[in-house]
Amino acid sequence: MTTLLVIAKEPLPGRVKTRLTPPFTPREAALLAEAALVDTLRTVAATPARRRVLVLDGAVGPWLPPGFDVVPQCAGGLDERLADAFAGCDGPALLIGMDTPQVTPRLLTVDFASCEAYFGPAEDGGFWALGLADPDPALLRGVPMSTPATGAVQRERLVAAGLRVRDLPCLRDVDTAADAEAVAAIAPPGSRFAAELARVRAVTHP
């Protein structure tokens, strides 16, 4: 079975979702980040997996459900941190972030029988998911992160390595207030993120 990796930051004001401010305060942005993380971890917990790992920058909080191993992120740029997350895996692994609370167990249930890699593009040009049948950190190191071309460069890196790539649906990351509204509108029933957005929106724009 597949190891599921979630790379995330501790949801602290001023450290997460800074592009949500304004219209939200740093505390509200952190609450939205926590809600997105909760939804993501719940989804991963509900997905069949060999192992579930939270690769965390910061400290664990009460938002962490049971069943996860927690490992610290290494130092360096995002490409190095993603590479290091895969380096700790023995066997197939799928990595996602905390920015797509609309993700479902169906999207995360992958089968490497007919491919060596899964790639989940994001609407902003990045990627929300990356799966490798044989995790090789070299496939990520040196990829320019947080640019409109990040996803294209990362996918081309996989193809250039001779891997058969299967594409997952394109999802929208939560970066801005407009993103938050769009994602909350399609979030599954019971979404903590959608509920938290409605709550903070009522406070900010009564």
CATH number at residue 139: 3.90.550.10
- Residue 89 has what pLDDT? 93
Range of the domain at 35: 3-204
- Partner residues linked to 115 by β-bridges: none
Q: Please, what are the averages of pLDDT over each run of 10 residues along the chain (206 residues)? A: 96 96 95 98 97 98 97 96 94 97 97 96 97 97 95 97 98 96 96 96 72
Res 84: pLDDT: 96
Q: What total of structural domains would you count in the chain?
A: 1
Q: Between vectors from CA 49 to CA 48 and to CA 52, what angle results, nearest 5°? A: 125
Residue in the block written with tokens 């509108």: 185
Is the bond into 48 cis (omega within 30 degrees of 0)?
no
Instruction: Determine the Cα–Cα distance for residues 173 and 121; give it in Å rounded to an integer.
Output: 10
| pLDDT for 206 | 57
Stated pTM of the model? 0.95
Per-residue confidence (pLDDT) for residue 93, from 0 to 100: 98
CA distance 131 to 120: 9
- Given this model, what pLDDT does residue 205 score? 61
Q: What is the model's pLDDT at position 201?
A: 86
